């Protein structure tokens, strides 16, 4: 009489340790949630940079908004999604973004929407101008004056149509914005977006179950 040996049952699937498994399923809600934060946080950083270009103490408000964006990025991507490395890189990116995007958007806004006024550098100075309307003012580095204008040189001022921002100074009336600054701002924005999106899509299992 032959004896039948019982076949060992297949081992049950073992659950991966908490905090180490990666959620493979990516429901549409999680994708939309990740995409929302990936766009919202860099856009808020750009807005903070542009806000800091305004006078009346709004520079400090822009800095405050930047710090809030950085903290939010670290909390969501690091603590919420358990992606500390991506969170650190994303936080550094969104912290740097306003300092690059602020002057770039300022120049872009002034040259695209501002009206031009002819002015002349006053004798004995490099950044003090007297425009055709009789308005005299001192230009700063933020207004594109770093001592490159010669005394008596004619320059063009791009004035804010609403009269809030300080004018942007150029040696000529060209409304072209340097492609290098635009490209650098775009690349940094894309890097910030990609890092946050990666952290959201690849959030760890325990974070995904809580989302």
3-state SS string over 140-162? CHHHCCCCCCCCCCEEEEEECCC
CATH among 2.60.40, 3.30.70, 2.40.50, 1.20.1250 for 113-170? 2.40.50
Which residue did the predictor score with more confidence, 72 or 173? 72
User: Does the reported pTM lie above 0.75?
Assistant: yes
Give the tens place of pLDDT for each residue, 180-210: 999 999 999 999 999 999 999 998 755 555 5
Give the tens place of pLDDT for each residue, 124-136: 999 999 999 899 9
Per-domain boundaries in the chain: 28-103+179-210, 113-170
| Gap between the Cα atoms of 30 and 70, Å rounded | 22
Nearest to 183 by CA among 98, 101, 66: 101
């Amino acid at each position: 009489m032959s004896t039948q040996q019982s076949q060992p049952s297949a081992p049950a699937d073992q659950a991966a340790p908490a905090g180490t498994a990666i959620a493979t399923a990516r429901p549409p809600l999680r994708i939309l949630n990740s995409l929302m934060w990936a766009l919202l946080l860099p856009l808020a950083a750009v807005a903070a940079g542009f806000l800091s270009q305004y006078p009346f103490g709004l520079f400090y408000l822009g800095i405050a908004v930047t710090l809030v964006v950085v903290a939010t990025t670290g909390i969501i991507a690091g603590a919420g999604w358990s992606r500390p490395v991506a969170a650190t890189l994303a936080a550094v990116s969104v912290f740097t973004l306003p300092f690059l995007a602020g002057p770039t958007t300022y120049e872009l806004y002034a040259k695209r929407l501002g009206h031009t006024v002819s002015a002349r550098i006053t004798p004995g100075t490099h950044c003090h101008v007297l425009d055709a309307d009789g308005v005299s003012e001192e230009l700063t580095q933020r207004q594109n004056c770093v001592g490159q204008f010669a005394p008596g040189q004619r320059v063009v001022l791009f004035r804010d149509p609403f009269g809030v921002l300080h004018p942007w100074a150029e040696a000529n009336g060209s409304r072209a914005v340097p492609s290098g600054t635009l490209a650098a701002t775009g690349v940094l924005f894309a890097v910030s977006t990609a890092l946050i999106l990666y952290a959201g899509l690849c959030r760890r299992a325990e974070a995904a179950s809580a989302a």
